Amino acid sequence: MWRAELHHLFRRTVVRVQLIVLFLVPVLLAVAVKLSGGPSSGQGPSFLDQVSHNGVFAALAGLTVCIPFFLPLTVAVIAGDSIAGEASLGTLRYLLTRPAGRVRLLVVKALTVVVYSVAAAVAVAVGGLAAGAALFPVGPVVGLSGTSFSLADGIGRTLLAAVIVGASLLGLAAIGMFVSTLINSPVGAMVITAGLVVAALVVDSVPQLAFAHPWLFSHDWLAFGDLLRSPVTWGGIRRDLLLQLGYVVVFGAAAWARFTTRDVLA
C-alpha cells in the first residue's frame, strides 16, 4: 500500500510541478550570479557570494534561500492535503471501507509526506549542483572554518545537508497532517499550516520573545550549515532534529487520536 501511495503522490501534476520549481530555484540563483558577476563578499544570503568560486555552493545557497518559506510552503501543501484532500474528494470513505485501516492509512500518508519533504530538499540540492557544475568551476570545497574538503566530500556533505533540511521540515509536516485530520478542506489545512510557518518566522524575529525561540520548529532550520565546518559541530543539527522529533510525536499522537475516532461524513 505504501508503494502505491508513493506512486499516487508523485504522479500528481501539482507535486511534479512543485519539485521542478524547487529544482529551478538554485538554477535561477546560479544564472543570476553568473549574469551579474556575483555579489561581493559578505553580501546576499550566505553561500551566495561563494557560488562564483565553486559551483557546489549553488546547492547550499539554494537550500538557504528555500528553507525559510518555499520549502515549508510545499510541505504545508502536501501535509495539509494528506487527509483533508481525500475527505473533500469523498475518496476517504472508500479508502476506509476498502478497508485501508485508519491507523495504516495515517501511517502511510505520514511516510509519503516524509519522503516528499526529503525529496523536495534534495531537488533543491540537485538543481544547485547541476547548475553550479554547468556554470561555474567545481573543485575542492572550502568550508566555513577555512579547511577544504575534496569535491566528492563536498558533494556528499551537500546532499546530507539536503536530507537534514528535509528532516527538519518534519515538525511542520506533523502539524500539517494534524490540521488535515481536523477539517475537510485541503485548502484550509494548507493555509492554516502555511500561516503557522509565517507566525513562527515572525515570533523568531522578535527579540522580546526570545524565551520561545528554542521551541519554534523553524528556529534551527539553518543548522545544516554546520556540516561544512571541520570538524562538524553537531550540536545545532542534533537540537534541531530532536525538536522535530518532539513535534512529530506530539502532533502525530494528536492526529492519531483525532483520525481514529472521528466520524467520516465527507
Partner 1 sequence: MAAVDGVGLRVPTGSVFGFLGPNGSGKTTTIRMLLGLISPTAGTWSLLGREMPAAAEAALPRVGALVEGPAFYPWLSGRDNLARFDAAGPDGQRATRTARIDGALARVGLTAAAHKRYRAYSLGMRQRLGLASALLRPRDLLILDEPTNGMDPQGTREIRNLIRDLASDGTTIFLSSHLLSEIEQVCTHAAVMAQGRLLAQGTLADLRAAGEARVRVGVDDPTRAADILGRLGLRDVAVLDGQVSARLDAGGPVGAARCCRALVEGGVEVSSLATVRPSLEDLFVALTGEGFDVAR
Minimum distance from residue 83 beta carbon to partner 1 (Å): 14
Which span (5-13, 134-142, 175-183, 185-193) binds partner 1, by CB under 8 A?
5-13
Q: Could you give the C-alpha distances from 250 to 139, 204, 253, in angstroms and in order?
A: 43, 21, 5
CB of 253 to partner 1, least distance (A): 20
Q: Between 8 and 47, how does the x/- string for binding to partner 1 read (CB under 8 A)?
A: x---xx----------------------------------
107 binds partner 1 (CB under 8 A): no
Binding to partner 1 in span 62-101, by CB under 8 A: 89-91, 93-101
**260 lines the binding site for partner 1 (CB under 8 A):** no
CB nearer partner 1, residue 100 or residue 197: 100
Contact between 4 and partner 1 by CB under 8 A: the answer reads: yes
State which residue, 100 or 174, has the beta carbon closest to partner 1: 100
Binding residues (CB under 8 A) for partner 1: these are 1, 4-5, 8, 12-13, 89-91, 93-101, 105, 261, 263-265
